Amino acid sequence: MSALRIITGMAADEFAEAVARELGRPVPLYVYLEWEKDDRAAPPPQALEAARGIALRNPIGVQASDLSRRSFLGGVIGLSTLAAAGFPISARSLSGTLAFGGAGRAWRASTQTADDLETLVGSYRRAYAGKAAVTDLLPGTTGLMDLLIDLGRRDQWPSAPGRLASLVGQAAILVGLLQLMGSHDLSAAKVQYDLALRFAREANDWDLASYALGSLAFLAVQARRPADARTIVVVASDLAGHRGSPRTRAWTAALASELHARAGREVASCRSLEDARAALDRCCDDPSWKGVGWFDDARLVSYDGGNLLLLGKYAAAEELLRLSLKRLDPPRLKHRSTTSADQAMVLALRGEVEESCARANDALTLAPAISHRESVDRVRGVHFHLMRWRGHPAVRQLTERLQAA
């Protein structure tokens, strides 16, 4: 149910209303929210069928929802503060937020200030791939997001709200990823990704919406909901293919290739990788990117190697992961850390104990400095496979480092 709602771009209250109309009977929001929870009873078959019909007729980016839009949390300061506190956030119109109670104020940001804030958002997004620690980036990004929202609420943004909505969405994407990769807080990340999708929809920024959908698909993988992940990534890839930038098309296709590999679908995985390469070839004409970090050939090679690892082709995977590490710029610590952990896994599965431990130690050296729990968790997976050689000095050393991590 959650995946069907996500691919429409609707919020829970909108989707509940749509399901109610389809069924011809009321669906209270609290009832609908129970249907989205994995640990609760499945929704009634009629409701699920109604949701499928709504999703087919209202895919995000193809046509707007026919539901009325209402004001978006007007009067409350700081949506990201609410999200962090665990308050429910509904997807009402951003225009309500941006126009709330601010008309007639004497001060308004200059266009130069708006340009500077846009540059700052881009700098934060790119900083994720580098040496900045998650714990350092998160408060700054959250504060920047609050500032942008308040400028809109107070009618202090100098231009139309679409540009501002996109910037808030980009910041929300980064906040969500930092929460996911830093503290592995899936619930907090989902709130931010949902929020980013709402803002992208309000801005008609379908490139950003494609990235938000891809992020939600990856989140579903982390939550062990592979069917939802595949459902969402198909829509993300289709939207990026029709209305996204080449780099976003490449990233969503690479993500789709990983999900195919996880399901053992080698042919489909290879086809998605080919789509990703074709899209990357067109980035010279349009280099724009609203995602987090950076996506280029080195990252695509890493996806290719990771897919081969998932498909059990360890020798080929090792070769590509080595190539990716050679191509990744040294400052891109987060990508180098995860790729090193993947290479360590390949080597462990091939019985190369000492080199596997060496690559795992490389990942562990980088991960704490950047507060990247995802890399540490990958090394823990490597360590599990190395337990057959628990008496080996290199494995004992890795065990001690993990215990201290």
Amino acid present at 377: D
How many angstroms separate the Cα of 290 from the Cα of each of 31, 158, 169, 335, 357? 35, 22, 10, 18, 36
How many angstroms separate the Cα of 289 from the Cα of each of 47, 220, 244, 250, 294? 38, 23, 10, 11, 8
Cα gap 385→338, rounded to integer Å: 17
pLDDT score of 276 more than 70? yes
**Is 284 exposed, middle or buried, given 0-12, 13-18 or 19+ CB atoms closer than 10 A?**
exposed
Among candidate residues 122, 271, 281, 266, the one with its CA nearest the CA of residue 208: 122
Cα gap 387→253, rounded to integer Å: 35
pLDDT score of 327 more than 60? yes
Each residue of 183-193: pLDDT tens digit? Answer: 899 999 999 99
Each residue of 136-164: pLDDT tens digit? Answer: 999 999 999 999 999 998 889 998 899 99
Q: How would residue 74 be classed by pLDDT, with cut points 50, 70 and 90?
A: very low
In angstroms, how far apart are the furthest CA atoms of the chain?
73
105 by DSSP, 3-state: which? coil
CB 249 within 8 A of CB 223: no
Structure tokens belonging to residue 122: 């881009």
pLDDT score of 73 more than 80? no
pLDDT score of 72 more than 60? no
Structure tokens belonging to residue 150: 């308040």
Cα gap 197→318, rounded to integer Å: 36
CB 173 within 8 A of CB 218: no
Residues 6+ apart with CB under 8 A from 82: 73, 76, 89
Structure tokens belonging to residue 92: 């009402």
Q: How would residue 84 be classed by pLDDT, with cut points 50, 70 and 90?
A: very low
Q: What are phi and psi of 2, to 5 degrees?
A: -60, -45
